[in-house]
C-alpha cells in the first residue's frame, strides 16, 4: 500500500500518516463556529480535509473521522474575555436564544457542505436534509452535546496539578508545561501581546498566557445564556477544551491527524496540545496539519469588511456552479496560499467546462461501455496524493488522461475512479442531458432569429436558419412547445 505523507507543523517535516493500534487512521478536523454563515475562506479548510479523507480511502486506509461544531457561545477572538459570539450572531437574526442561532447556522453550514459535495465525517455521502438530532451518526459532534467529557477532562488535569481556580474561572497553568509553545515556535514573551487585556478582567489570573478551561457564571458573565453545572460552579467551557475532550472521548486518545487552518497554531492548537498533556501526560496527536489561507489578490486574508469573503449562496447567485468553487479550492496543495477572486473562480469554471466538454466530444464517437481503469495513470494519481496531497500533479494526471488516445471507455472509467477523490461529479456532468441553458450562445441567437422569421411567415429564411443551426451541430424540430433542439451525435 502506498503510504500517505503529510507536513507536520510540530516537527516541520513530512511524515507518514500512522494508523492507531487497530489499523485505523483517526482524523480530527476543527469545525465551524456556528454564529454566522461560513465564507469561501472557511471552506478551503473543509475541502482540503475532505480530499484528505477521500485520498486515504483511495489509497486503502481505514478512516475514523470526526468534526466538532462549536455551538457553545465562545468569545470573539482567541482571547478568553470579550463579547460572546453566539449572542452577537443572535442580534443579527433578531433572537436572543443561542440554541436558535446555533441551529440556524448549523443548517446553513450543512447545506453548503452538501452542495460542495463533501463527505460527512463518517465517510458517507451527505444527505441534503440532515436531521440535527442525528448529527453524531454523521460524524459531527456538537460542543453542547459534549459537556460531560469536557468536565471529566478538566478534572483529570486538576488531579495532575495543571489547573487553578479563581472567583471568575478555572485556568490551565502554562508554567506547568515546559513544551507549551513548541507548536508555534513562539517565545512565551511574544505570545503575551494579544492576551494582556484579560489580566485587567481577572486580577487573580497568575500568568497572562494561562487560558480558561471553565468560565463561571460570575461577574461579567453572571447573565451568560448557555450554562451548565460543574464541580467549579455553574458556567460554561472555554473554547479549546471541546476539541481535546472530543478527540479523547471519540477517537480513543490517539489522533493520527489533527487538522485546522494556520490561524489555529499559536493559540487554539497550542492550548489543545497543553490540555492533552495535562490530562493524559502524553502527546495525543501524531500529526498536526495546517492549511494556508485563501487570500485576496493582494495577499490579505479574506474578510467581510473587504467585500471578498463571499458565502456559497452569494457565489451561486453570481452564476457559479458549486463544482466550480470546489475545483478552485482543491486545485493546489493545502500548504500553498491560494488566491481568491471572481476571476480566479471564473478560471476554475472554464477549466472544469473545458474538461467536461473534451469528455463529451469523446463520447460522441460512440456510447460508453464498461471500461478498465488505466493502471499507469492511476498509479501516478495515487503517487501525487501520497506525496503530501500534491493536487496540482493530481489534476495534471487527470487532464492528461482525458487528452490521451486510450480507449474512450477506459478513459471514462479512469476519470470516474479519480473522481472518488476529487468529488467533482465529472461523469454525471458529461452524461446529463443538455439543457437549454447549456446551448452555445451562437445556437441560441440563431434560434431567436428563426423564431422571428417563422412568426413573420418567412419560411425560406426559416429553412436557411435551420441549416445554419445544423452546421453548429444541432438539429431543430418544431413542436407544439416551439422549437426544440437536439445535439447531433
Ligand atoms: Zn478545535
Tell me, what's the pLDDT at 213?
96
Q: Which helix (H) or strand (E) holds 27?
A: strand 24-29
Which residues have a Cβ under 8 Å from the Cβ of 444 and sit 6 or more positions away? none
User: Collapsing DSSP states into helix, strand and coil, what is residue 331?
Assistant: coil
Cα 413 to middle of ligand 1, angstroms: 38
State the architecture of 5-291 in CATH terms: 3-Layer(aba) Sandwich (3.40)
pLDDT tens, 440-465? Answer: 888 888 988 998 888 888 888 988 99
Cα 264 to middle of ligand 1, angstroms: 8
Residues 48-61 have a mean pLDDT of 98
- Res. 129 pLDDT band, cuts 50 70 90: confident
Contact 73, 35 (CB under 8 A): yes
Cα 268 to middle of ligand 1, angstroms: 7
Please state, in angstroms and rounded to a whole number, the distance separating the CA atoms of residues 438 and 320: 13
Cα 422 to middle of ligand 1, angstroms: 25
**pTM of the entire predicted model:** 0.86
Tell me, what's the pLDDT at 372?
97
Confidence check: pLDDT of 105 > 60: yes
Please state, in angstroms and rounded to a whole number, the distance separating the CA atoms of residues 209 and 405: 61
- Res. 89 pLDDT band, cuts 50 70 90: confident
Residues 15-29 have a mean pLDDT of 98
Cα 360 to middle of ligand 1, angstroms: 43
- Res. 353 pLDDT band, cuts 50 70 90: very high
Confidence check: pLDDT of 26 > 70: yes
Residues 19-45 have a mean pLDDT of 95
Residues 24-53 have a mean pLDDT of 95
Confidence check: pLDDT of 193 > 60: no
Contact 409, 364 (CB under 8 A): no
Least confidently predicted of 301-305, 308-312, 331-335, 414-418? 301-305
pLDDT tens, 67-79? Answer: 999 998 765 556 6
Please state, in angstroms and rounded to a whole number, the distance separating the CA atoms of residues 278 and 153: 9
- Among the listed residues 145, 118, 177, the one whose alpha carbon sits nearest the alpha carbon of residue 322: 118
Q: Which helix (H) or strand (E) holds 441?
A: helix 441-455
Residues 331-354 have a mean pLDDT of 96
Tell me, what's the pLDDT at 458?
86
Cα 147 to middle of ligand 1, angstroms: 15
Alpha carbon distance, N-terminus to C-terminus of the chain: 42
Instruction: Name the one residue in this structure whose C-alpha cell is 488531579.
Output: 159
Cα 244 to middle of ligand 1, angstroms: 8
Tell me, what's the pLDDT at 42?
94
Mean pLDDT of all residues belonging to the chain: 90
Confidence check: pLDDT of 39 > 70: yes
Which residues have a Cβ under 8 Å from the Cβ of 164 and sit 6 or more positions away? 170, 171, 173, 206, 210
Cα 274 to middle of ligand 1, angstroms: 13
Helix residue ranges, H only, 208-365: 241-250, 270-280, 312-317, 322-330, 342-363
- Res. 45 pLDDT band, cuts 50 70 90: very high
The beta-strand segments (E) located in 221-302 are: 235-237, 255-261, 285-291, 294-295
Tell me, what's the pLDDT at 365?
66
Confidence check: pLDDT of 198 > 90: no
Residues 266-292 have a mean pLDDT of 96
Residues 384-407 have a mean pLDDT of 97
Q: Taking the alpha carbons of 330, 331, 333, 338 in that order, is the dihedral positive or negative?
A: negative
Confidence check: pLDDT of 190 > 80: no
Cα 445 to middle of ligand 1, angstroms: 53
Cα 388 to middle of ligand 1, angstroms: 22
Cα 30 to middle of ligand 1, angstroms: 4
Domain residue ranges in the chain: 5-291, 304-431, 436-487
Cα 239 to middle of ligand 1, angstroms: 8
Cα 312 to middle of ligand 1, angstroms: 23
Cα 210 to middle of ligand 1, angstroms: 18
How large a percentage of the chain has pLDDT more than 90?
69
Least confidently predicted of 75-79, 156-160, 176-180, 378-382? 75-79
User: Collapsing DSSP states into helix, strand and coil, what is residue 77?
Assistant: coil
Cα 262 to middle of ligand 1, angstroms: 12
Cα 155 to middle of ligand 1, angstroms: 20
Please state, in angstroms and rounded to a whole number, the distance separating the CA atoms of residues 389 and 32: 23
Tell me, what's the pLDDT at 167?
95
Contact 436, 447 (CB under 8 A): no
pLDDT tens, 291-313? Answer: 999 998 888 888 777 778 999 99
Amino acid at each position: 500500500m502506498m503510504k500517505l505523507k503529510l507536513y507536520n507543523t510540530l516537527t516541520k517535516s513530512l511524515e507518514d500518516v500512522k494508523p492507531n493500534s487497530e489499523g485505523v487512521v483517526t482524523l480530527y478536523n476543527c469545525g465551524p463556529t456556528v454564529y454566522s454563515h461560513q465564507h469561501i475562506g472557511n471552506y478551503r479548510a473543509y475541502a482540503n480535509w475532505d480530499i484528505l479523507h477521500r485520498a486515504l480511502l483511495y489509497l486503502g486506509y481505514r478512516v475514523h473521522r470526526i468534526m466538532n461544531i462549536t455551538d457553545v457561545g465562545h468569545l470573539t477572538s482567541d482571547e478568553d474575555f470579550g463579547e460572546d459570539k453566539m449572542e452577537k450572531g443572535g442580534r443579527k437574526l433578531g433572537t436572543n436564544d443561542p440554541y436558535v442561532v446555533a441551529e440556524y447556522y448549523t443548517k446553513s453550514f450543512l447545506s453548503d457542505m452538501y452542495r460542495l459535495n463533501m463527505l460527512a465525517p463518517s465517510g458517507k455521502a451527505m444527505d441534503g436534509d440532515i436531521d440535527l438530532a442525528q448529527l453524531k451518526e454523521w460524524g459531527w459532534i456538537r460542543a453542547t452535546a459534549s459537556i460531560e467529557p469536557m468536565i471529566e477532562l478538566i478534572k483529570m488535569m486538576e488531579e495532575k496539578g495543571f489547573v487553578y481556580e479563581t472567583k471568575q474561572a478555572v485556568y490551565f497553568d502554562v508554567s506547568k508545561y515546559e513544551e507549551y509553545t513548541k507548536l508555534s515556535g513562539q517565545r512565551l514573551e511574544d505570545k503575551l501581546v494579544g492576551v494582556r487585556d484579560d489580566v485587567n478582567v481577572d486580577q487573580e489570573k497568575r500568568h497572562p498566557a494561562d487560558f480558561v478551561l471553565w468560565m463561571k457564571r460570575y461577574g461579567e458573565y453572571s447573565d451568560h445564556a448557555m450554562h451548565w453545572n460543574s464541580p467549579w460552579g455553574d458556567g460554561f467551557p472555554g473554547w479549546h477544551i471541546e476539541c481535546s475532550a472530543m478527540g479523547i472521548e471519540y477517537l480513543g486518545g490517539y489522533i493520527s491527524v489533527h487538522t485546522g487552518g494556520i490561524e489555529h497554531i499559536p493559540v487554539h492548537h497550542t492550548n489543545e496540545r497543553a490540555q492533552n498533556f495535562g490530562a493524559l501526560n502524553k502527546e495525543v496527536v501524531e500529526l498536526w496539519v495546517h492549511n494556508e489561507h485563501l487570500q485576496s489578490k493582494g495577499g490579505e486574508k479574506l474578510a467581510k469588511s473587504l467585500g471578498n469573503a463571499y458565502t456559497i449562496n452569494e457565489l451561486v447567485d453570481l452564476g457559479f456552479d458549486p463544482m466550480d468553487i470546489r475545483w478552485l479550492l482543491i486545485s493546489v496543495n493545502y500548504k500553498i496560499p491560494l488566491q481568491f477572486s471572481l476571476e480566479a473562480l471564473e478560471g476554475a469554471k472554464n477549466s472544469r467546462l473545458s474538461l467536461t466538454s473534451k469528455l463529451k466530444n469523446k463520447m460522441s464517437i460512440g456510447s460508453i461501455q464498461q471500461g478498465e481503469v488505466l493502471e499507469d495513470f492511476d498509479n501516478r494519481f495515487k503517487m501525487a496524493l501520497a506525496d503530501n496531497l500534491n493536487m496540482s500533479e493530481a489534476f495534471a494526471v487527470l487532464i492528461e488522461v482525458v487528452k490521451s488516445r486510450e480507449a474512450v471507455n477506459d478513459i471514462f472509467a479512469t476519470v470516474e475512479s479519480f473522481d472518488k477523490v476529487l468529488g467533482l461529479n465529472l461523469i454525471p456532468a458529461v452524461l446529463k442531458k443538455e439543457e437549454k441553458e447549456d446551448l452555445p450562445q451562437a445556437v441560441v441567437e440563431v434560434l431567436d432569429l428563426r423564431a422571428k422569421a417563422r412568426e413573420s411567415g418567412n419560411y425560406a429564411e426559416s429553412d436557411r436558419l435551420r441549416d445554419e443551426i445544423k452546421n453548429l451541430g444541432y438539429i431543430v424540430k418544431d413542436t407544439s412547445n416551439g422549437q426544440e433542439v437536439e445535439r447531433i451525435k
